[in-house]
Amino acid sequence: ATDAANRAATRPFVYATYHRQPRRPAYLLRDACTLIGGELVLAFDAATPPSASALERLLTAYDGQDIITGMRTPAPTSLLHRTHTALLKQILVSDQADPLLPLALFRAELIDLLPGDGELAPPLAHVYAVARRRNYTTAQIALPAHSAPTCPSTIGDVASLAAQGPARSTRPALGTLIVVASLWLLLRRRR
């Protein structure tokens, strides 16, 4: 994580911050935005940092967009991961291809779009979705799947998100959760 942060810090107009205490991602992003004001924020999860080539591709692709996110190609194929992604896209009303990838470059002015600390959706996915709806300039770039590790989705993550979703999305989300849980149990019994 330190190598990636140091590499990012060598780019003009990009600063890297590191927090030793565990905090919720939305809090960390809000804190970073207040520290640098008016500049760009390169956000990624230090627990599963992207490769230097993924960071370089993201920084190179920047062309004045308000937010640019990465998307792994090919996309992760786990059924649970795909269900988690679909649920996030439905709840956030978003077209983001890879909302579970914690990697984005965005203008610090978008601090107002960050979710509250109690939000279960990933904060970068939330910022992207709100920015897109408000007609900010957004972009997604393809990254090799191996260059940006994924945090595994759990049934607990999906269930918590489904329970928190807006009223119009809760019923379909719970139905999806039931189907996924049933398939998971069937697959587990066959092993």
pLDDT digits 0-9 by tens, 155-173? 777 777 766 655 444 455 5
- In the chain, how long is the greatest CA-to-CA distance? 55
User: HSE of 41 in the Cβ direction (CA atoms, 13 Å)?
Assistant: 30
Q: For the chain, give every domain's residue range.
A: 2-190
User: Quick one: pLDDT at residue 47?
Assistant: 76
Please give the residue that has the higher pLDDT: either 70 or 77: 70
pTM across the whole model? 0.74
> What single letter denotes the amino acid at residue 48?
T
- Distance from the first to the final alpha carbon of the chain: 36
Query: What percent of the chain has a predicted confidence (pLDDT) above 90?
Result: 23
User: Quick one: pLDDT at residue 169?
Assistant: 46
Task: Please answer whether residues 184 and 79 qualify as being in contact, where contact means their C-beta atoms are separated by less than 8 angstroms.
Answer: yes
- pLDDT for 65 beyond 90: yes
- C-alpha 144/C-alpha 72 separation (Å) is 6
Please give the residue that has the higher pLDDT: either 155 or 131: 131
67-73, strands of its sheet edge to edge: 14-15, 40-44, 103-107, 67-73, 138-144
Please give the residue that has the higher pLDDT: either 56 or 157: 56
- C-alpha 141/C-alpha 135 separation (Å) is 18
Q: At what angle do helices 2-9 and 52-61 cross, to 10 degrees?
A: 30
Residues 6 or more apart from 70 whose CB is under 8 A from it?
50, 54, 57, 58, 98, 101, 103, 104, 140, 141, 142, 143, 148
